[in-house]
């Protein structure tokens, strides 16, 4: 082989090596882009599921509060009790469906926080409907527990989504139920 042939062979090898390098680089870049796209799409679905679940939990709690206050004579509702019970039943059904989305999409910590939140929300439901007896103080404790569980769910959901910061701790003081002033018997 002459000097010209080895130069041509070297040029061909260099072109093939360049083409192979370009192909591998493009392949890995495209694969990473697709992976990021997939993660973003799942994060969007998770965010929708987390938001929907919390919305359903809160809707059911607010209906439970309305029912409890109506039943206990604390604040009569404009709606009849059977209607409030039916709305609460529908709200708890929708909460259960939203929980199923959490089970499908969330990580272990979020699923555990959702289980804890469900348990706290059921305690509120049960006292509101009269299945579980309790005092007004027990009612308030159950409501505090459900909102603590909502905050705990927020914390782990934020971590799961990669959101920085925290909603609890030293920078965010603990808050309690917002309660109206006590009624006086003089009025």
User: What is the predicted pLDDT for the residue at 34?
Assistant: 75
CA dihedral of residues 184, 185, 186, 187 (deg, nearest 10) = 80
Q: What distance in Å separates the CA atoms of residue 63 and residue 83, rounded to the nearest whole number?
A: 11
**What is the mean pLDDT of the segment spanning 26-30?**
82
User: What is the predicted pLDDT for the residue at 107?
Assistant: 92
**DSSP summary character for residue 180:** P
pTM to 2 decimal places: 0.73
All structural domains of the chain, each given as residue ranges with its CATH number in brackets, are: 37-161 (1.20.120)
Are residues 77 and 69 in contact, defined by beta-carbon separation less than 8 angstroms? yes
Residue 5 has pLDDT above 60, yes or no: yes
Give the tokens for residue 54.
Answer: 């919390």
User: What is the predicted pLDDT for the residue at 143?
Assistant: 96
- Average pLDDT over the chain reads 87
User: What is the predicted pLDDT for the residue at 7?
Assistant: 84
């Amino acid at each position: 082989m002459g000097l010209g042939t080895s130069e041509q062979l070297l040029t061909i090898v260099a072109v093939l090596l360049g083409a192979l390098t370009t192909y591998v680089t493009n392949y890995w870049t495209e694969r990473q882009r697709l992976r990021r796209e997939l993660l973003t799409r799942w994060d969007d679905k998770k965010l929708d599921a987390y938001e929907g679940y919390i919305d359903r939990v809160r809707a059911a709690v607010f209906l439970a509060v309305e029912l409890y206050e109506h039943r206990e004579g604390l604040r009569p509702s404009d709606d009849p009790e059977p209607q409030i019970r039916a709305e609460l039943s529908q709200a708890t059904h929708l909460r259960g469906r939203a929980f199923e989305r959490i089970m499908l999409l969330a990580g272990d910590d979020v699923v555990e926080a959702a289980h804890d939140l469900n348990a706290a929300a059921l305690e509120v439901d049960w006292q509101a409907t009269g299945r579980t007896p309790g005092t007004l103080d027990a009612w308030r404790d159950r409501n505090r527990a459900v909102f603590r569980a909502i905050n705990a769910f927020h914390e782990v959901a934020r971590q799961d989504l990669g959101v920085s910061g925290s909603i609890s701790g030293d920078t965010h003081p603990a808050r309690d139920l917002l309660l109206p002033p006590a009624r006086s018997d003089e009025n």
